[in-house]
Structure 1
Amino acid sequence: MATEADSSSSSDDIDWRSESSSVEMSRRDRLEEFYRHSVYEPAAVAWSDRRTRIGIVILSVYLLMALVEILGLWRDPSPSQAERLLPPFQNWAYPLGTTQSGVDLLALIIDSTPFILLMVLAGGVWATGIAVLVGTVSGYKGGAIDTVITSVSDFFMAIPGLPLVIILAITFSPENPIFLGMILTINYWAGLGRSIRSQVLSIREASYVEAARTMGTGTSRIILKDVLPNIMPYVMVNFVLAARYTIFASVGLYFIGVLPYTGQNWGVTLNNAYNQGGLFTMQALHWLLVPIVAIVGLAFGLILVSQGMDRIFNPRVRTRLTGESESVDEEGENESTSTWV
């Protein structure tokens, strides 16, 4: 009897250990699966595209400049004893040259970079975030909700964007980059929301969405799992377009003097260069070109990265580039060969 009890207890211990090990393995498998699908595969797909690699390198340069400014590793943009209107690449202490006052142009660009990046991120997130929320809910729910949301979107689309932004900029004189980014894209979301709504209208009639509704899946889960992944390439491209619009709008408003001249900005630098004859004299031409190159470079980097987003969200491309499709094809070939034999 004692031996039977001991053997039963030992078998129970073995079962408990095997169950605990299986639980641990399942957790480990879930973590590995999450890493593979959410980190490794998107990174591998993005890095396989040359455009995305170039865009990441360009954006990394701007992030590095922002880090340099935050850590204070470069000189402040203030008048110095340097030669005035020094051309670029002649004195490596001032690699991009100097202004009429002897200010380092590289210091001006670096000083503006954190402000610009925060403003661009805020404008892009605000515009696309509101548009995705409005477009998906309106397109999927339909009915009275769709009518109300569409009417509000039409109202904001009817308001001229630039005059509204100018009035708000003069009224609030925003100095916070996040608040400024939201003002610049105050009604940008309306047109994008209508475009997203039209795409969701076609997606909600798909067979897999109908099957999910039949199984009793909640609305929020269907939108997150079935609708959003199908429109994410379009959303990411429009996020970049909103960010680019924020850059150009802010620089233009700084250039014409609508936004306050607090600190340095690429638009302020352009304005000063233009007023000092940068458009008409070769000696000051670099003063005008340096902020233009900074503006165009940031917009170009964002566009290149956005072009790789479609590859990340496209499941066929992800499976092909991560090798899963090849393994499936090989298994299919083996099965057909064995059947033929």
Structure 2
Amino acid sequence: MTDTARALEAAGEAAEPPAPPDTARPPSQERASLGKDAWLELRARPTVWAAVVTLFLMTAMALAPGILTSLLTEGGDHCDLADSKLGPSAGHPFGFDLQGCDYLAQVIRGTRPSLIAGLAVTAASLLIAVVLGLLCGFYGGWLDALVSRVTDVFFGLPFVLGATVILVAFPDHGLGAMVLVLTVLGWTTMTRIMRSQVIALADADYVRAARMLGARPARLMVRHILPNAITPVIVVAMLNVGAVISGEATLDFLGVGLQYPEVSWGLQLNAAQAFVLDHPHLLFFPALFLSATVLSFILLGDAARDAFDPRLK
């Protein structure tokens, strides 16, 4: 081959376009986070949606009882002793209570104290549990020993009995006092769980790496440990709301909680116990609302526990 031919062949090879990059490889997919997986699992459960709808209705009744009363009843604010204990009828689907007031309106008004007590007690207990659990689990030492002994003492106190003894000692109490008493008696379980989670995460590799990089204890606890330790406590808190609502209604039923003229499901059950055979609607409707609310929080808590627990996957 002549030199000219070789030069033309080399020029032709150089002019050939480069091979296109390999685009047949599928793009890499990020692994779904635990939160996204949990949400997908939760929204696929009919029981979760039933619980959410029920709690939405209960919240609406607690926030705007007057509006719902005017929409669902006829003369909901009017009471006539001539109508005392009458059963359900047109315009009054729940009948009348002992004072001759529309029972649906009274049951709707009884929603607010129960929801306020359940949410306020749980929020306060959760705050106490997060603070004490972080400090005790991270630092240990005498603080951990002291808090552990105090929680042992409170675990030895029966919930309803302890609240009864305290509330009887202060007969002029209201909803605020009940929230305070139930918080004092209800913070221990979440604190124990938070403490155990912090202890398990304090020696994790990413926490050690952050500590070696100079992160201060406050940053370690808030930025690295708390987000990974809070999920089991949130699940227990959801279950705790139902337990607190049940406890508040029990105290009202026993006569040591809210007092007349306050309106609550527990007080309505207390008033209905003497007439349950002749007028069962007095017991049935507040018990139905109470059971539906408590069951909804329990179902949400159980579903959240199953969705966020990787051991159940």
For the aligned pair, the TM-score class normalised by the smaller chain equals: 0.7 to 0.9
How far did residue 139 of structure 1 move?
A: 0.9
What secondary structure does 1:216 align onto? coil
| Paired residues of 1:233 and 1:309 also in contact (CA < 8 A) | no
**Judging changes above 3 Å, is the alpha-carbon distance between structure 1 residues 178 and 223 closer, same or farther for their aligned structure 2 residues?**
farther
Cα deviation code 1:64-106 (max 9, x no counterpart) = 2123325585355653377544434xx2311122234432211
- TM-score, normalised on structure 2? 0.75
Give yes or no for the alignment of 1:267 onto 2:263. no
**Judging changes above 3 Å, is the alpha-carbon distance between structure 1 residues 221 and 67 closer, same or farther for their aligned structure 2 residues?**
same
Alignment partner, residue 304 of structure 1: 299
Give yes or no for the alignment of 1:238 onto 2:229. no
Give yes or no for the alignment of 1:59 onto 2:59. no
Give yes or no for the alignment of 1:117 onto 2:115. yes
Q: Which amino acid aligns with 2:255?
A: G
Alignment of 1:26-41 (within 5 A): none
**Judging changes above 3 Å, is the alpha-carbon distance between structure 1 residues 229 and 220 closer, same or farther for their aligned structure 2 residues?**
same
1:238 and 1:176 mapped to 2: Cα distance?
A: 27
What secondary structure does 1:187 align onto? helix
Cα deviation code 1:286-307 (max 9, x no counterpart) = 2111111111111112123334
- Sequence identity percentage: 26
2:76 and 2:165 mapped to 1: Cα distance?
A: 32
| Paired residues of 1:118 and 1:178 also in contact (CA < 8 A) | no
How far did residue 313 of structure 1 move?
A: 6.0
Larger CA Rg, structure 1 vs 2: 2
Q: Which amino acid aligns with 2:246?
A: F
Alignment partner, residue 187 of structure 1: 185
What secondary structure does 1:119 align onto? helix
Alignment of 1:166-315 (within 5 A): 166-173=164-171, 175-259=173-257, 260-275=259-274, 277-278=275-276, 281=277, 283-310=278-305
- TM-score, normalised on structure 1? 0.70
Alignment partner, residue 97 of structure 2: 99
47-56 vs 133-142, greater mean Cα deviation? 47-56
Alignment partner, residue 339 of structure 1: none
Aligned length: 275
1:115 and 1:45 mapped to 2: Cα distance?
A: 32
How far did residue 59 of structure 1 move?
A: 0.6
| Paired residues of 2:121 and 2:182 also in contact (CA < 8 A) | yes
Alignment partner, residue 126 of structure 1: 124
146-155 vs 290-299, greater mean Cα deviation? 146-155
**Judging changes above 3 Å, is the alpha-carbon distance between structure 1 residues 44 and 108 closer, same or farther for their aligned structure 2 residues?**
same
**Judging changes above 3 Å, is the alpha-carbon distance between structure 1 residues 175 and 71 closer, same or farther for their aligned structure 2 residues?**
farther
Alignment partner, residue 79 of structure 2: 79
**Judging changes above 3 Å, is the alpha-carbon distance between structure 1 residues 206 and 152 closer, same or farther for their aligned structure 2 residues?**
same
What secondary structure does 2:250 align onto? helix
1:135 and 1:246 mapped to 2: Cα distance?
A: 21
How far did residue 209 of structure 1 move?
A: 1.7
How far did residue 121 of structure 1 move?
A: 1.0
What secondary structure does 2:97 align onto? coil
What secondary structure does 1:213 align onto? helix
2:147 and 2:202 mapped to 1: Cα distance?
A: 18
**Judging changes above 3 Å, is the alpha-carbon distance between structure 1 residues 220 and 314 closer, same or farther for their aligned structure 2 residues?**
farther
How far did residue 252 of structure 1 move?
A: 1.4
1:77 and 1:239 mapped to 2: Cα distance?
A: 36
How far did residue 129 of structure 1 move?
A: 1.9
Cα deviation code 1:84-136 (max 9, x no counterpart) = 44434xx2311122234432211111111122211111111122221222122
**Judging changes above 3 Å, is the alpha-carbon distance between structure 1 residues 52 and 82 closer, same or farther for their aligned structure 2 residues?**
farther
- Structure 1, unmatched stretches of 5+, are 1-36, 316-341
2:66 and 2:222 mapped to 1: Cα distance?
A: 37
1:113 and 1:151 mapped to 2: Cα distance?
A: 37
1:157 and 1:216 mapped to 2: Cα distance?
A: 39
Alignment partner, residue 24 of structure 2: none
Which structure: greater helix fraction?
1
Q: Which amino acid aligns with 1:137?
A: L
Q: Which amino acid aligns with 1:129?
A: L
1:77 and 1:40 mapped to 2: Cα distance?
A: 47
2:171 and 2:42 mapped to 1: Cα distance?
A: 39
| Paired residues of 1:54 and 1:304 also in contact (CA < 8 A) | no
1:83 and 1:311 mapped to 2: Cα distance?
A: 49
